[in-house]
Chain A
Amino acid sequence: MIQIRGLSKSFVGQDGSVVHALRDVDLDIDENEFLTILGPSGCGKTTLLKAVAGLIPWNDGDILIDGSAVRGPGPERSMVFQNFALLPWATVLDNVGFGLRMRGIGRAERDERARALIEMVGLSGFETKRPGELSGGMQQRVGIARALAVEPRVLLMDEPFGAVDEQTRRLLQEELLSIWERRRMTVVFITHSMEEAVLLGDRVVLMSARPGQIAEIVPVPLPRPRSSDVGAIERSSDYVEVTAYLWDRLRDMHTEHRPSKVAG
């Protein structure tokens, strides 16, 4: 459903040289696919996601969703941010309802839908709390609920679990899988963790840095649903094999290029 054709983005660095954040990226994402994008920092994976979200301009190429070109944010897409991007002054309820409010949905319906999502992510009872009173994991649950509240067909996730501790991260991965298994949608999930990419994805897009390009697309031969027994999946030979393969490829990239300093 998402087609990316020859996408290129470059910018002029502070020293005046041209930096290619993305060069000639082609990618097709199927309806209801869970696609993970893996790569070293500076490989342009966040740039790619933001382009799909319609948040940044690019230099060349096209992004089509169901055949129509992306020219800005749209109601069929919603995004989950690495640093949560919650409004610190708003309650959990108002944060979850934010996207609905931007679409002009009235208070009553907004709150009703927000409450349902809050329950789904396991935050019932926290409706009137503010983000500052929540742990990182709970904050990202709010971020996920906010993204789901607008009932997107495409969920764009930018290293959503990168800023939480390891235990919370595993819980959130399981919950995301179980939510997605109940409520299918297209997910584009950025990560720098090989294990996360394999555990969650149908396919893993491996990107290389400088210029940001797709190095390889690796299918993940693991059965679904996966949320019921994540432990068994992680012990399976397919999981170990794919993860090991990805690590080989990533290590090659690191020896080819010096690690880049630009976050991305």
Chain B
Amino acid sequence: MTATAGPRPARRPGLARRVLDANLPYQLLAFAVFAGVWEVYAREWGGLLIPSFTETVEATAELLGSAELWRAMWVSNQALVLGFGIAVLAGVPAGILLGRFRLAERLADVYLNILLVTPMAAIIPLLVMSVGFGLASRVILVTIFSIVMIVVNSRTGVRQVDPALIEMARSFGASERQVWTRVLLPGALPAIMTGIRLGLGRAVTGMVIVELLMVSTALGGLILEYRGLFKAPLLYGTIVIILAEALLLISAARWCERKLTRWAGSA
């Protein structure tokens, strides 16, 4: 039995204690270990295909200064912006309608369930066959990837508004329109914002996947090109940059979500 009780001196936390209690030192430590293992592994057993950590950092910096990357970024993000925009504009109203009208929801339910678990990437060949390798098929794929999350969360948001609040509003003589603008939409906003944030994550995923799997342009195309040319550091650098973009966008979305839904507490 370990000594869990017994006298122990009490102190106000000192500087060392506060450093140990913070997260950052541990995060840095974890990263350092990761980078160190990578560096050693690449130097000892790596080859043409596995760049070291330092080589990757250098290549990333080099890429950030190259016009080629920014051109690819521009092309990729066109699809992202358009596809995600369509998903939000169509998905939020669709989700709200599903949340409000039982029959539509009952009929759509089974399809939403299927769409949530189906790997959407499998329809990429059909897109390419129908609209070709251009911007359109990338936009459509981004929309398809992100819209389901937005619809489902918007629907849940409307459904979870307390019916007692609607009754309350009606009892004060609120019109249908006022019930919508004063009760339903504000009540559903946190869930809608969550859906938009999750949808953005999936949109970025869709953007990358379509380029990697079928339409070899832009960022995904760069990856495939560098792989073909055995330019491993540049390949890894591109991946780092894509990850960085994804995380930046998602953090920004999370920040917006918090700003807009502060009343909802931690939800």
Cα distance A9–B9 in the bound complex, in angstroms: 9
Task: Let me know if B65 is at the binding interface, CB within 8 A.
Answer: no
Cα distance A155–B214 in the bound complex, in angstroms: 71
B9 touches which of A51, A59, A72, A74 (Cβ 8 Å): A59
A57 pairs with B1, CB closer than 8 A: no
Stretch at the interface among A10-18, A134-142, A200-208: A10-18
Cα distance A183–B73 in the bound complex, in angstroms: 79
Cα distance A9–B12 in the bound complex, in angstroms: 13
Task: Let me know if B228 is at the binding interface, CB within 8 A.
Answer: no
A12 pairs with B12, CB closer than 8 A: yes
Task: Let me know if B177 is at the binding interface, CB within 8 A.
Answer: no
Cα distance A202–B13 in the bound complex, in angstroms: 42
Task: Let me know if A54 is at the binding interface, CB within 8 A.
Answer: yes
Separation in Å of the B255 CB from the closest CB of chain A? Answer: 26
A72 pairs with B10, CB closer than 8 A: no
B7 pairs with A58, CB closer than 8 A: yes
B192-213 contacts to A, CB under 8 A, are none
B2 pairs with A72, CB closer than 8 A: yes
Cα distance A57–B2 in the bound complex, in angstroms: 12
B3 pairs with A71, CB closer than 8 A: yes
B7 touches which of A11, A53, A60, A72 (Cβ 8 Å): A60
B12 pairs with A57, CB closer than 8 A: no
Q: Which residues of A contact B265 (CB under 8 A)?
A: none
A residues at B contact (CB < 8 Å): 9-12, 16, 18, 51, 53-63, 69-74
Cα distance A61–B7 in the bound complex, in angstroms: 7
B6 touches which of A12, A16, A57 (Cβ 8 Å): A57
A11 pairs with B10, CB closer than 8 A: yes
B residues at A contact (CB < 8 Å): 1-10, 12-13
B13 pairs with A57, CB closer than 8 A: no
Q: Which residues of B contact A51 (CB under 8 A)?
A: 5
8 A-B pairs whose Cβ atoms sit less than 8 Å apart in the complex: A12-B13, A55-B5, A57-B6, A57-B7, A63-B5, A69-B6, A72-B3, A73-B5
* Number of interchain pairs (Cβ within 8 Å): 52
Q: DSSP class of B's interface residues: helix, strand, loop or mixed?
A: loop
B10 touches which of A10, A55, A63, A74 (Cβ 8 Å): A10
Closest to B4 in A: A72
Most buried by A among B3, B7, B9: B7
B5 pairs with A72, CB closer than 8 A: yes
Cα distance A11–B7 in the bound complex, in angstroms: 13
Separation in Å of the A212 CB from the closest CB of chain B? Answer: 15
Closest to A60 in B: B7
Separation in Å of the A119 CB from the closest CB of chain B? Answer: 31
B6 pairs with A71, CB closer than 8 A: yes
A55 pairs with B7, CB closer than 8 A: no
Q: Which residues of A contact B6 (CB under 8 A)?
A: 57-58, 69-72
Q: Which residues of B contact A55 (CB under 8 A)?
A: 4-5
Closest to A50 in B: B5
Closest to B8 in A: A57
Cα distance A61–B10 in the bound complex, in angstroms: 12
A59 pairs with B10, CB closer than 8 A: yes
Q: Which residues of B contact A63 (CB under 8 A)?
A: 5
Cα distance A69–B10 in the bound complex, in angstroms: 19
A59 pairs with B8, CB closer than 8 A: yes
B12 touches which of A18, A58, A72, A73 (Cβ 8 Å): A18
Separation in Å of the B13 CB from the closest CB of chain A? Answer: 7
Q: Which residues of A contact B7 (CB under 8 A)?
A: 57-62
Closest to A69 in B: B6
Cα distance A9–B8 in the bound complex, in angstroms: 9
B5 pairs with A58, CB closer than 8 A: yes
Separation in Å of the B22 CB from the closest CB of chain A? Answer: 16
Separation in Å of the B21 CB from the closest CB of chain A? Answer: 12
Closest to B13 in A: A12
Closest to B5 in A: A54
